[in-house]
Amino acid sequence: MSRWLLDTSAVLAHYREEIGADRVQDLLEDDQVELAVASITIAELARKLVDLGADSAEAREVALEYAGMVEKVVAVDTAVAVRAFDIGGSASGRIPLVDALIAACASSVDATLVHRDPHFDSVAPGLVVGERL
């Protein structure tokens, strides 16, 4: 069974039916996939939905629905925080802290990170296994 962790950008692409939504849907439907999100994705997704015009209650509901669609919600703990520091420090460009934490959550459960963020291309090889939508 393969493990995948959806970055907020991938979840948002799925919700908004943007490029990459089909790939996320395939992962959601695949019985041979263990799918996860980082706990911080719940907050980030809800905030982005509010920025896009949703009210707080709707944004919270959608974010929690996505958390319920996956097998695992990966918490940010000390080990994940240290791994995020390493990921950020290895990059040749700037990586937002939230994204470094999400990537570290993927790394902590040996999952492939599914994302739409070009800044992950600058991370040192081997720290994050990813698939860019």
Q: What CATH number should be reported for the domain holding residue 128?
A: 3.40.50.1010
Residue 72's pLDDT is 97
Confidence of residue 126 (pLDDT cuts 50, 70, 90): confident
The span from the CA of 19 to the CA of 104, in Å, is: 24
Q: What's the structural domain count of the chain?
A: 1
d(CA 118, CA 95): 10
- For the entire predicted model, the pTM comes to 0.94
Give yes or no for a contact between 51 and 75, defined as CB atoms under 8 angstroms apart: no
pLDDT in tens, 61-94: 999 999 999 999 999 999 999 999 999 999 888 9
Q: Which residue segment(s) compose the domain that 46 sits in? A: 2-132
Could you tell me the two tokens for 104? 């570290």
pLDDT in tens, 5-30: 999 999 999 999 999 999 999 999 99
